[in-house]
Amino acid sequence: MRDGVAAAIESGPDMVVVGQAADGAEAIVRFRELLPDVALIDLQMPGVDGLQAIATICGEYPAARIIVLTSYPGDARVKRALTFGACAYLLKTATREEILTAIRSVMGGKRVVASEVAGEIASHAWSEMLSDRELSVLRLVATGHTNKRIADVLCISEDTVKARLKNIMTKLDAMDRTHAVTLARDRGFFDA
């Protein structure tokens, strides 16, 4: 995928690839060395993931222009990437022309969000986000813990666990615990 994106960029008369990285840690190092005009970063990378790389780069270089190019459209994931400083969010299904147009747009100071991603964000725009406490319960549900075990691990009562699960299922419009975990995973809540 990386080679294909690099070839697409190199085919543009006004662009050149100045470097590549295999993971998030290397992306941070290469950004510091090369200070590119625009960086394309995937979210799913070994070691330091894309969200961490974006947060680090934008923390050090607030004017950095970063385009997320990933296969993950979840709304929580997108919001985090944009909050951390990404200027654009594209899916790997983007065409060569869409990628080149996004790079030019970001260079021009614009923000770009793929239409599929914008649709995902819009479909959950009025949904409440899960609180950190609710996420801690849902993460333990995802690993197969019972309500009693979750209560023990988090030092809360079983009634509190049940109340949080009820809130989670309402916020996610989930039918049951398993459905809540699936929806949360799809929307990117576990990527923090």
Residue range 132-165, pLDDT digits in tens: 899 999 999 999 999 999 999 999 999 999 999 9
Q: For 82-128, what is each residue's pLDDT tens digit? A: 889 999 999 999 999 999 999 999 999 999 988 887 777 666 655 67
**Is pLDDT above 70 for 129?**
yes
Q: Per-residue confidence at 53, pLDDT binned at 50, 70, 90?
A: very high
Of 32, 8, 31, nearest to 20 by C-alpha is 31
Sign (positive or negative) of CA dihedral 13, 18, 78, 176: positive
Q: 59-93 burial, b for 16+ CB within 10 Å, e for fewer?
A: eeeeebbbbbbbebbbbbbbbbbbebbbbbbbbee
Spatial contact of 164 and 134, defined as CB atoms under 8 Å apart: yes
184 touches 138 (CB < 8 A): yes
Q: What are the structural domains of the chain?
A: 2-123 (3.40.50.2300), 132-191 (1.10.10.10)
Is the model's pTM score more than 0.75? Answer: no
